[in-house]
Amino acid sequence: MTSLTALAPTALVIAFFLALGLIQNRNARWVRITLLVVGIIVIIRYLPWRYAETVLPANPLTASGLWIWFLFAIELVFIADFVKHLLIRCRIVDRSIEADAAQQRLEKLPPEQWPSVDIFIPTYNEPLEVLERSILGSLAQDYPNFTVWVLDDGKRDWLGAFCSEHGVKYLTRQEHLHAKAGNLNNGFSHSSGEFVAVFDADFVPYKWFLRRVIGMFDNPGLGIIQTPQHFFNRDPVQQNLWIADMWPDEQRLFFDKLAPAMDAWDAMFCCGSCATYRRKAVNAIGGIPTASITEDILTTLEMLRKGYATRYLNERLSVGLAAESLEAFYVQRQRWCQGGIQALFLKAGPLGPGLDFTRRVLLFPIYWVFHIPARMIVLIIPALYFWFGLEPLENANAQEILFWQFPVLVAGWLSSIWYNGRQAYPIINDGPAALVAVRLLPVVISSLIRPFGRPFQVTPKGRSSEKIKIATTDVIVLGGLLAVNLVGFLANIPTDTRIVEQEGFLAVAGFWAIYNTSILAIAVLMSFESAARRIQERFPVLIDAEIEVQGMRYACTVTDMSLGGASILTPAYEVLKNNTPVLLDVSGIVDLNGRIVRRSENEIGIQFEPEPDGPDRTRMIEYLYTSGIDNAAQAAAPTALIWGLVKRLLGQGRSGDLKP
């Protein structure tokens, strides 16, 4: 077999995806079914060869043979999960038209007939600068019949005083049992609204949130309506890789791409925040489940057993605070991981009675149970071959692997890119996943052995903005994995230092090692926590304003703004000097005192001194956080993104200066 012949099947797969990319309507079911069929054909072509030629000849009673059979079993799970995702994506649903009709029906009713709604903001240790956004933003709802409740498990007098000042219900409890689930149940027992919208303490609903959601509950079979979680700040992946303005946040793939497909299969689940519950459905299951630290998915499962569905409205209806540091990132995912595994041991979980097969499969926490440990194994396979001669396939040379196996791998990569667009590139997505795998592997193992007993951890809020922090343990582990892959490959290139005896797999292992090295390099870069670019996130705006300096007023345009500062464009920039006190008159919103802290051509940066307070601050929060301003990063072109990562590797990217 020549090299050209070996690459022919892969070329056909690439040609198919190039043709698929010309189709405008990617949501058409026939297009997605075609992709499923092609994926299955590629797998059916591959598996007989894989089993008969590279697995069956291996003796499972030997160490090398057992390794080959073990990896084949892992590969079968990967393939089954790949097919499952292709199948899930064959369906997709958009509830916006349904929400439009429901809102129209709702708005035809007189205001006194609109359903009553309680807005719950559960909190434990969040500071006021986090909570005030959620509280004041929730109060801004354009809805005639709602009550805001702050459920404080921290018993903080200052928070009670703040709530009293703003007319918000404040509720504590004597015992802090069952963490967030217990706190929510306490809120349910003290309130009476027909529906309950829940926002974590760092989320702010847009002012039309309830109008878009509540009308949909005229379907009596709905128990929960989940909306996506969008963020106004950059998460550690974006920050630490210095691609904050060219790469979407880490959760976009789920909320934008997978959740609408899960909903189409009636398998969408509650995600804890930005969700609205029917009180009757919560009462039917005896309250929010407390058996797991991830009460949200258990609530969905228990409601399904009682005949209440969870629906997903894929509209940007709120904005929240993404994990601000690696510590917060890890704590959040450790909680999700442990809670997902706990559910497997519970009668209320996906393996318990009362669920159909489809929902059991789709709601099984395969990512935590399988993909975390499997990813670690994938990272060490080339190293074990280079250093100990352990081949993952028996009697397979590079040309055979290119001919039979490589088309499956390419089909997996290209299908992910086709479904997810610029939000999914194999190496860039795999880097953060490798970092998470290193951190969560001990959690997976310990949770499978002893799923209960670890205390609930609230995601920390706030980040150190003044200096770079290094996750030393992560750097050591990831750097070690990188070294054994790369050094093992380089050591086996010259014949006089070669360790492996069977050279047929050497070229493939080299490619694999380079791929792993690229992934691990990104993961290592993520372990260096960058300083925040700004104390507070700016929102892009375009507002006509005036700036007053020493009694003179000049026209200007505000181009971005936060509670701490703003950027303006003005023809009078030449007469405006740094450190000059100014008054910024933002048309129709607020007048703000400050000083000039930055000048570049016709753009001027202003720091507010002091920050607005009282009614001015309330208006600013309502304008910035509840009016739908979108400051999310948009995915850049592949070349720009790769160049950005190269500059990050060379230390030449923008790490971010501390600014207001």
496 Cβ contact partners less than 8 Å away, ≥ 6 residues apart: none
Instruction: Give the side-chain half-sphere CA count within 13 A for 175.
Output: 4
Q: Hey, what domains does the chain have and what are their CATH numbers?
A: 3-87+377-438+459-529 (no CATH), 96-229+271-322 (3.90.550.10), 539-626 (2.40.10.220)
β-partners of residue 581 are 595
Q: Cα angle at 266 between 32 and 117, to 5 degrees? A: 130
Gap between the Cα atoms of 297 and 263, Å rounded:
14
Q: What is the mean pLDDT of residues 78-88?
A: 96
8-state DSSP, 547: E
**For residue 484, what is the enclosing H or E element?**
helix 472-491
What is the DSSP track for 260-311? HHHHHTT-----SSSEEEEHHHHHHTTSS--SSS-HHHHHHHHHHHTT-EEE
Q: What is the pLDDT of residue 643?
A: 87
- Please give the pLDDT value at position 649: 83
Q: Which residue has the higher pLDDT, 123 or 239?
A: 123
pLDDT at position 466: 53
Instruction: Provide the pLDDT for residue 653.
Output: 64
Q: Which residues contact 346 (CB under 8 A, 6 or more apart)?
A: 291, 292, 298, 352
pLDDT tens-place string over residues 365-405: 999 999 999 999 999 999 999 999 899 998 888 899 999 99
Q: What is the pLDDT of residues 324-336, one digit of tens each?
A: 888 889 999 999 9
Average pLDDT over residues 580-600: 90
| Beta bridge partner(s), residue 603 | 569, 600
First and final C-alpha spacing in the chain: 63
Mean pLDDT over all residues of the chain?
92
Q: What is the Cα–Cα distance from 92 to 490, expressed in whole angstroms?
A: 46
pLDDT tens per residue across span 143-177: 999 999 999 999 899 999 999 999 999 999 988 89
Cα separation of 190 and 167, whole Å?
17
Across the range 604-627, mean pLDDT stands at: 93
Give the pLDDT band of residue 532 (cuts 50, 70, 90).
Answer: low
Judge whether residue 541 has pLDDT over 50.
yes
% pLDDT > 70, the chain: 97
Q: Shortest CA distance to 461 belongs to which of 649, 320, 363?
A: 320
- For the cut 50, the answer to whether the pLDDT of residue 585 exceeds it is yes
* Burial group, residue 178, by CB count within 10 angstroms (0-12, 13-18, 19+): buried
413-472 residue pLDDT tens: 999 999 998 888 888 889 999 999 999 999 999 999 999 977 777 777 755 445 678 889
What is the 8-class DSSP label of residue 534? B
Residue type for position 157? D
Quote the CA–CA distance of 249 and 227 in Å, as a whole number: 16
Render pLDDT for 546-581 as a digit per residue (tens, 0 to 9): 999 888 899 999 999 999 999 999 887 777 888 899
Helix 326-344 × helix 295-305 angle, to 10°: 30
Find out whether 393 and 54 touch, Cβ atoms under 8 Å.
yes
Residues 9, 6: Cα–Cα separation, whole Å: 7
- Residues facing 557 on adjacent strands: 544, 569
pLDDT category, 651, cuts 50, 70, 90?
confident
Give the integer Cα–Cα distance in Å for 209 and 188. Answer: 20
Give the phi and the psi of residue 42 in degrees, each rounded to 5: -60, -40
Q: Which residue has the higher pLDDT, 659 or 354?
A: 354
Q: What pLDDT digit, counting tens, does each position of 248-281 carry?
A: 998 999 999 999 999 999 999 999 999 999 999 9
pLDDT at 656 over 50: no
Residue 657 reports pLDDT greater than 60: no
d(CA 651, CA 630): 29
Residues in the chain: 660
pLDDT for residue 638 is more than 50: yes
3-state class (DSSP) for residue 57? coil
Alpha-carbon separation of residue 142 from 85, 275, 276, 279 (angstroms): 39, 17, 16, 21
Strand 146-152 versus strand 169-171 pairing type: parallel
Helix/strand/coil for 516? helix
Is the peptide bond prior to 9 cis by the omega test (within 30 degrees of 0)? no
Residue 22 has pLDDT above 60, yes or no: yes
- CA dist list (Å): 257 to 237, 418, 478, 556, 602: 19, 11, 29, 40, 40
* Least confident piece of the model among 48-52, 433-437, 577-581, 646-650: 646-650
Rounded to whole angstroms, the Cα distance separating 464 from 472 reads 16
